[in-house]
Amino acid sequence: MVVSEPNVQHRKPELMIQRIAFLASDANVAQSARVALIARYGNSAPRDADVVVALGGDGFMLHTLHHMQHLNTPVYGMNRGTIGFLMNEFHEIDLMQRLVDAEEEVINPLAMRAMDQSGKLHEALAINEVSLLRAGPQAARLQISVDGRVRMDELVCDGALLSTPAGSTAYNYSAHGPILPIGSDVLALTAIAAFRPRRWRGALLPKIAKVRFDVLDADKRPVMADADSVSFKDIDWVEIRSEPAIEHRILFDPGHGLEERLISEQFT
């Protein structure tokens, strides 16, 4: 089997922090934190910044990473939301030193291509997962292929998803999928409320695998596709692969990176 490059590269960035761009979610607590931090450290436009500081929860962090990917600027998150798996603790003081000391992890997203019943092709990227979900009262019927070979003729379920290691503690974990070590070159294919095969949990696939879902009986059993909350309705088929050409750079305080968080999550 061909060995792919690691899904996440751990490295210590050599950052010269002079200009910071502060971005915040719409939540009042995040907006208030942004005002306080700008008063203390100033503010730059994202295109001119050495680092972007995202204030909010994991949803806002994903939003920021997607919108900043063309800049190749590292993003340091501070939790001002309800969930903060991708975020660091919020503190106003010593931010410049925290940024200098931060450890960087580089994540590749999933690339999704989806065809709807009208023949329109949709494309999207997902840092966490691509999911297919039933969009009507009846269970979805999905055929699953890996690298062009049909691996399951029919999965009757509420849905299925393909998750990266970074997203394995999100929807994937709630659907009883496995938590994946960040350095692993694997993806988790997880069923959501599988009916037939009964309670099928899914499979672990190499990162380089190309996965295709074909929706069976789509008129009667409609299915939607979702890539990090970007959704498309009435889907006929979906193809998913890892996209190594795109890198998301995330900064974490030492000892609190994704590797440690994934391990800790399994013992809580």
129 is an annotated ligand-binding site residue: yes
Q: What is the pLDDT of residues 199-248, one digit of tens each?
A: 788 999 999 999 999 999 999 999 999 999 899 999 999 999 999 999 99
pTM for the structure as a whole: 0.83
Does residue 76 register a pLDDT over 80?
Answer: yes
172 is an annotated ligand-binding site residue: yes
- Taking residues 27-53, what's their average pLDDT? 97
Catalytic option among 48, 58, 226, 234: 58
114 is an annotated ligand-binding site residue: no
| Domains of the chain, earliest start first | 8-108+246-265 (3.40.50.10330), 110-242 (2.60.200.30)
Average pLDDT, the chain: 90
Q: What is the pLDDT of residues 147-168, one digit of tens each?
A: 999 999 999 999 999 999 889 9
Interatomic CA distance for residues 117 and 261, integer angstroms? 40
- Alpha helices of 58-159 — where are they, by DSSP H? 58-68, 95-101
Has 58 been annotated as catalytic?
A: yes
What is the pLDDT, as a whole number, of residue 43?
97
166 is an annotated ligand-binding site residue: yes
Does residue 18 register a pLDDT over 90?
Answer: no
169 is an annotated ligand-binding site residue: yes
Look at residues 221, 222, 187, 184 and name the one whose alpha carbon lies nearest to residue 204: 187
Question: Which helix (H) or strand (E) element contains residue 259?
Answer: helix 258-265
Give residue 108's pLDDT band: very low, low, confident or very high (50, 70, 90): very high
